Amino acid sequence: MANTVNSHISSFSEKKIMSSKDTIEIIFPNTKTRKAAKIFVDWIKKQDGIATKNAVSEFANSLNSGTNSQEFSYFKYSRRNFYMTILRKLIDMGFLQHNVPIWDSKLNKTIYVYKINIFDIPKKPPQIGFWKLSYYMCKIWNKLFF
């Protein structure tokens, strides 16, 4: 357990973050989890950054059966791991919001959705430490959606 925690913490090094082109590779060090997270991010981008709980559930089912990926043929990822690892971590780190109320004009009611978080960051990064690393992670994340 300690090795897992230490290997995950080391993925947040300044060198790793500054050399990364993708926030997903920073957040998810495991190769299979990273692939599943990239598939999810690509999918939610196609949904304009918003997805209902039912749509995410259908996505998780298709990922579990291996029918959701064109880029990674025959790729399967468990529904449970998707919710417990990918979705939970993206929410906990603030990259994804959940239970965001939006008005659905077709249903004529408010629905609650998952929504990507685009960060409003300054043009100039902080000079040191956690804030500097967070700045670059958020900047790389924003680039995924623009």
46-88 pLDDT, tens digit per residue, is 999 999 999 999 999 999 988 766 655 678 899 999 999 999 9
pLDDT, one tens digit for every residue, the chain (146 residues) = 444 444 444 467 777 888 888 899 889 989 999 999 999 999 999 999 999 999 999 999 999 988 766 655 678 899 999 999 999 999 999 999 999 999 999 989 999 999 999 999 898 888 888 888 899 999 999 998 88
Distance CA 138, CA 135 (A): 5
Taking each continuous run of H as one helix and of E as one strand, the counts in the chain are 8, 3
Distance CA 19, CA 76 (A): 29
Predicted local confidence at residue 68, as pLDDT:
66
pTM summary value: 0.84
Predicted local confidence at residue 36, as pLDDT:
93
User: Which residues have C-beta within 8 Å of that of residue 135, sequence separation ≥ 6?
Assistant: 121, 122, 125, 126
Q: What is the DSSP string of 33-100?
A: HHHHHHHHHHHHHHTTTEEEHHHHHHHHHHHHHT-S-SSSTT----HHHIIIIIIHHHHHTTSEEEEE
* Structural domain spans, the chain: 2-144
